[in-house]
Homo-oligomer: A and B are copies of this chain.
Amino acid sequence: MKLIKDIWFKRRDIVSEGFDESLEYISKLIPLKIHKISSGTKCWTWKVPEKWGIKEGYIEDLKGNRLLDLKDHPLHVLSYSLPVNKVVSKEELMKHLHTDPKRPGAISFKFKYYERDWGFCIQHNKLKKFTKDKYKVFIGSKFEKGALKVGDFTIKGKSNEIIVVVAHLCHPAMANDDLSGVSVLVDVAKKLKKKNNYYTYKFLLLPETIGSIAYLSQNEDIIPKMKCGIFLEMLGNGNIHALQLSRQGSTRLDRVAEYIMKKKLDNFRKGLFRKVVCNDEMVFNGPGLDIPMISISRYPYPEYHTSDDNLKIISEKKLVESRDLVLEILDIMDSDYIPKRKFKGPVFLSGYGLWVDWQENPKLSENIEQIMLRLEGDKSVFDIAEELDMDYREVRSYLDGFYKNNLIEKKNGSFKN
């Protein structure tokens, strides 16, 4: 939460000083390696844009009365707007004013990263103040060669296989989209750092879409190591959680995430790939890469992409709930193993202290046979718990008893997605 308060109002445009400063800030919380990809670098079918900066921007009538001033709010100038300095007719000005009529009291967030234009963003209900025929428009933006930056915190595990967790750090003066995702990511990273993990975890903070494309296209060797990923976004607002499945739709991570949400949450919604909310999963899980990536969000919320997406809508409690959810999902992913039978016939349970009294634990007692029938090496502990609708930790703990008695062997992490 402190992170969000400290950096939310910065001009975190995709390649910008504000973005760079924010990465610096976070690297004090978790040790980040910063990848830099220069403006103009060809990234598959894309190209890294210039660094963009702006100090001044306003609209005045010809008497010098300011109707809009960048100083009042960072959103007032279109992100990546071309510079402009001229007198225009009202008619022309209106083509360059962006509003959100559904939320008339808020400044809308708009950008033109690739099809360039100049423009301002303004509250819809302020349009009526433009009563004159001509206006002076000034946008003092600068385009210069710079470098797109990606923050990367990697925790090495026993396996080289990577689970990647991603959030985007861009969007100027916006709190929930996506500093809430960044905040949850940082907290999850801190917790995992203290654990002895099976998988390698990579946490990436980047500008949306182009950041993923730039990083992955310049580091193609890492793609085959990525087993699956989670995109975190818009997690501080009051809505229920939304699980967006990976393109594959039923990988282990999809199933674990749904299993945990069912167990832990009163309510959540689930949607197909790209049918809940669109983000960098289209890169990771897209053509030629196809790393299964789910996204976890609390989308939608009414303040989306306006100046109302600010600290007021963020709740610490929601962030903590989301963090715990992600940790539970990763705990199963990390601790799951495939139990492989070494015995023949039904096990003589009481001879090994594995008998379970029906009256003490009816569900486990009833399911022991079913567990015993699933130890052929083709199902993991999670698969078994999911199939029998049992608690993952209880099944794991019961099978650990089999392991101690040399009745099964364990295979870690080598299971299919």
Which residues of A line the B interface, CB within 8 A? 43-47, 114-115, 209, 213, 216-217, 247, 274, 282-283, 286-289, 341, 343-348, 350-352, 369-370, 372-373, 375-376, 407
Contacts and interface: CB of A to CB of B under 8 A. Distances in A.
Contacts of A45: 343, 345, 347-348, 351-352, 407
B346 A283 contact: yes
Contact of A344 (B289, B344, B347, B351): B289
Q: Which 9 A-B pairs have the closest CB atoms?
A: A288-B344, A45-B348, A46-B348, A44-B345, A44-B344, A45-B347, A286-B346, A282-B346, A213-B345
B247 A345 contact: no
A49 to B, nearest CB: 11
A247 B351 CA distance: 25
9 contacts: A44-B348, A47-B348, A216-B345, A287-B344, A287-B346, A287-B347, A287-B372, A288-B343, A288-B344
A77 to B, nearest CB: 22
A345 B375 contact: no
Nearest to A43: B345
B44 A287 contact: no
Contacts of A344: 44, 217, 287-289
Contacts of A347: 45, 287
A46 B286 contact: no
Nearest to A213: B345
A343 to B, nearest CB: 5
Given A274-B370, A287-B372, A287-B373, 7 more contacts: A44-B345, A45-B347, A45-B348, A45-B351, A46-B348, A287-B343, A287-B344
Contacts of A213: 345-346
A348 B346 CA distance: 56
Contacts of A286: 345-346, 372-373
| Residue from A114, A289, A348, A375 with most neighbouring chain B CB atoms (10 Å) | A348
